[in-house]
Amino acid sequence: MPQLDFIIVLPQIFWLVLFFISFYFILTYLFLPFFLKTILSRTKFIEFNYITELQLIKEVFEKRQFIIKKLNFSFNKIHSILFLNVLIPKFNFINKPFKDIYLIKNKIFFLAVKKTLYFCNPIILNSFKFYPSFLNKKT
């Protein structure tokens, strides 16, 4: 059988081994370091992004805590102003119990409550229908 003849098979085996050995060395010494550098740079990039993300989260959390403290302080101040000056009147029974100042403050307070209800109540806001002007719809 001619395919098992050593004269024909030996050169083919030689070139096969030579080709695969050269291919192996080219891959391991040229391409593998390039791939490893790419993988290492990606891991360092991901690590750097993770560290910056943690720093940004920490900064945002600190700013949020500061704003919450400031808001609580402002709300407490508003609460004290409302309840000490507007809702708990200081009656003087020698003069008229309802002075004009109290009525003005009461009117301002109820006007603010009314506007808050109008602008912050989702049921009322959803009841308004807004159309673009080019449709010429009348509500």
Measure the CA angle with vertex 25, ends 24 and 29; round to 5°: 125
Predicted pLDDT at 123: 64
Q: Give me the domain span that covers residue 54.
A: 1-88
Residue 105 within any structural domain of the chain: yes
CA-to-CA distance for 103 and 98, rounded, in angstroms? 7
Based on the fold, state whether residues 59 and 102 are members of the same structural domain.
no
Predicted pLDDT at 81: 73
Residues in contact with 119: Cβ distance below 8 Å, sequence separation at least 6, in sequence order: 125
Is the pLDDT at 96 greater than 60? The verdict is no
Whole-prediction pTM: 0.42
Predicted pLDDT at 15: 92
Structure tokens at 31: 């391409």
Based on the fold, state whether residues 45 and 108 are members of the same structural domain.
no
Predicted pLDDT at 132: 56
Task: Quote the number of domains for the chain.
Answer: 2
Based on the fold, state whether residues 102 and 81 are members of the same structural domain.
no
Residue 132 within any structural domain of the chain: no
- DSSP-based three-state secondary structure for 120: helix
